[in-house]
Amino acid sequence: MCLESAKEYAPLFVQVLNILYDEDIIQEDVILEWANHKEHAADESDKIFVKQSQKFIQETVLKRLNEGGVKVKRNRRLRRAKA
């Protein structure tokens, strides 16, 4: 992927990553493995996606793992049903 495209789509990627995680489609270990692999990749565009995802990884994934807590799913369908 070209560097300009990576810069353009990285913020959207973080939103998609958050939704996939929130909906239990991907797990913590997969996100961390992906970030570790891409962080050391030769392709600069890969590093942009990891860098944009760092806040989500730190504040959501690692925090939850460090607390040893159960993931509380923010169920959008449930919220819509209540509305």
Number of Cα atoms under 13 Å in the Cβ half of residue 80: 3
Task: Kindly tell me if the per-residue pLDDT of 76 is higher than 70.
Answer: no
Please report, for residues 17, 39, 48, 58, 72, the alpha-carbon distance to residue 4 in angstroms, rounded to integers and kept in the order given: 20, 18, 10, 25, 35
State mean pLDDT over 26-32. Answer: 90
Q: Which of 8, 14, 10 is nearest to 47 (CA)?
A: 10
Q: Which of 17-21, 27-31, 53-57, 73-77 has the lowest mean pLDDT?
A: 73-77
pLDDT confidence tier of residue 25, bands split at 50, 70 and 90:
very high
What is the distance between the alpha carbons of residues 75 and 51, in angstroms, rounded to a whole number? 27
Domain boundaries, given as residue ranges, for the chain:
3-82
State mean pLDDT over 1-27. Answer: 86
pLDDT of residue 15: 93
Q: Which of 3-12, 21-30, 31-40, 62-71 has the lowest mean pLDDT?
A: 62-71
What is the distance between the alpha carbons of residues 64 and 61, in angstroms, rounded to a whole number? 5
